[in-house]
A and B are shown apart, each in its own frame.
Chain A
Amino acid sequence: MRVKVPPHLKELWVRKEAHAHAKQAVLLDQGGSEKGDKLAMTRFLALFILMSAFAVSVGLSSDHASAASVYCDQHSVGGTAYGLTYKTYIDAYGDPSCSGSRKAAYDYYAYVNQNNTNIDNDYARAWECGTLLYSYGPTYRSSFGPGAWNILWGGWGGLNSCGFQADLHVRYWATGYFDFWTYTNF
């Protein structure tokens, strides 16, 4: 059975429907805004985590820092020939640690396994970022050895902010037997 709706009631019904749709639209907008906030927060957190991961990866790819220690490293050179053994070395120290802008120190050593060896310390030098701090030598020692680690010179070398920089040139000799020069570049 069909009922004929009067025009004024039909218009009222249309307005009511429109109002209901508008109300729903407002509710949807409010709900969408809350969801948008959550989404934005999630995106922000995701970006933060990614950027942190990026920073960590960059940090990992950088040079490793040296472990804190007073004794830092050694550079040595030596040789053996026909029963003769000799060795020259530089020990590097940092105070209070080995890395960064720390005070640096060097000990210059020589060793030989033969009696009555002469030693000429031609020079023992150190630099700070390319600037010469000292050049010790030449000095001479006779009746050197055998078998002992003999310190030739020890000195503070400023800062090691550019890394340790030192070298040593030593001559071991016994007339008619041997004559060797060693050069050590730390």
Chain B
Amino acid sequence: MTRIWNTLRTKRPFLTLAVLLLALAAATVLVSSNVSVEAGGSAARFSPQDAAAQAQVLANEQLTQTLSKAGSDGLPLVQVNGHAVRVADLTQVELAYHSNASSVASSGGEIESRLAGNYNVWVAVWKRADVSMRDWNGAAGTIIVGLVFEDGTGRLLSANVGRINPNKK
């Protein structure tokens, strides 16, 4: 092999350089096409377990800023079993991976999001019905938490957190 290389290098330097350049160009094109295939492919960087764990962290952060924060009376807006509502009090109804998506929606319409660009994302949704709402005179409400976050980085792109009284229109 070394002998062939030396022969080529000394006796056919231009040909050798040309072949090397051609190979480099071909490799560049192949690598770039592989990158775009991976970005548009189905392989997620997060495992479902990783995604579920990240989703829980993000959901609790969002609850802290919304339904769990103190109301005018100093108590959490929504309580479950005497404590500020946490994601552990809710039932996860969806955790889905979407590759190369420019818009995503949960199957029940709890969250819909158009993304600025194409992303590999996870959509997570939790719900809990029949939660007594203290500041709604005890009316039963349904809690909904929906998230869209980026695969791999875990960056939150969209969130939708709240409660609704199904019996009032």
- Could you tell me the dominant secondary structure of chain B's interface residues? mixed
B120: CB under 8 A from chain A? no
B109: CB under 8 A from chain A? yes
CB distance from B156 to the nearest CB of A (A): 6
In the assembled complex, the Cα of A75 lies from the Cα of B116 at a distance in Å of: 5
A80: CB under 8 A from chain B? yes
B60: CB under 8 A from chain A? no
In the complex, chain B residues whose CB is within 8 Å of the CB of A176: 136-137, 139, 165, 168
Please, what's the 1-or-0 string for B20-51, where 1 marks a CB less than 8 Å from any CB in chain A?
01101110110110010000000000000000
* Contact B160–A74 (Cβ < 8 Å): no
In the assembled complex, the Cα of A183 lies from the Cα of B64 at a distance in Å of: 13
A73: CB under 8 A from chain B? yes
* Contact A43–B163 (Cβ < 8 Å): no
In the assembled complex, the Cα of A171 lies from the Cα of B112 at a distance in Å of: 16
Residue among A51, A164, A182 with max Cβ neighbours from chain B (10 Å): A182
- Could you tell me the dominant secondary structure of chain A's interface residues? strand
In the assembled complex, the Cα of A133 lies from the Cα of B56 at a distance in Å of: 30
CB distance from A34 to the nearest CB of B (A): 18
In the assembled complex, the Cα of A89 lies from the Cα of B148 at a distance in Å of: 14
Please, what's the 1-or-0 string for A79-90, where 1 marks a CB less than 8 Å from any CB in chain B?
111111001010
* Contact B21–A54 (Cβ < 8 Å): yes
CB distance from A161 to the nearest CB of B (A): 16
**A180-B164, A185-B157 given; A79·B28 CB < 8 A:** no
Give the contacting residue for B28; candidates A58, A74, A172, A185; CB below 8 A. A58
A175: CB under 8 A from chain B? yes
Give the contacting residue for B111; candidates A43, A50, A79, A177; CB below 8 A. A79
**A75-B114, A183-B62 given; A60·B29 CB < 8 A:** yes
* Contact A57–B158 (Cβ < 8 Å): no
A129: CB under 8 A from chain B? no
Give the contacting residue for A79; candidates B66, B142, B160; CB below 8 A. B160
In the complex, chain B residues whose CB is within 8 Å of the CB of A181: 62, 65-66, 159-162
* Contact A183–B116 (Cβ < 8 Å): no
In the assembled complex, the Cα of A186 lies from the Cα of B168 at a distance in Å of: 33
A61: CB under 8 A from chain B? yes
In the complex, chain A residues whose CB is within 8 Å of the CB of B112: 76-80, 87
In the assembled complex, the Cα of A58 lies from the Cα of B166 at a distance in Å of: 57
Closest to A174 in B: B168
B17: CB under 8 A from chain A? yes
B117: CB under 8 A from chain A? yes
B18: CB under 8 A from chain A? yes
**A57-B29, A181-B65 given; A77·B113 CB < 8 A:** yes
B146: CB under 8 A from chain A? yes
A27: CB under 8 A from chain B? no
CB distance from B141 to the nearest CB of A (A): 8
Interface residues of chain A, those whose CB is within 8 Å of chain B, are 43, 46-47, 50-51, 53-54, 57-58, 60-61, 73-84, 87, 89, 92, 164, 169, 171-172, 175-186
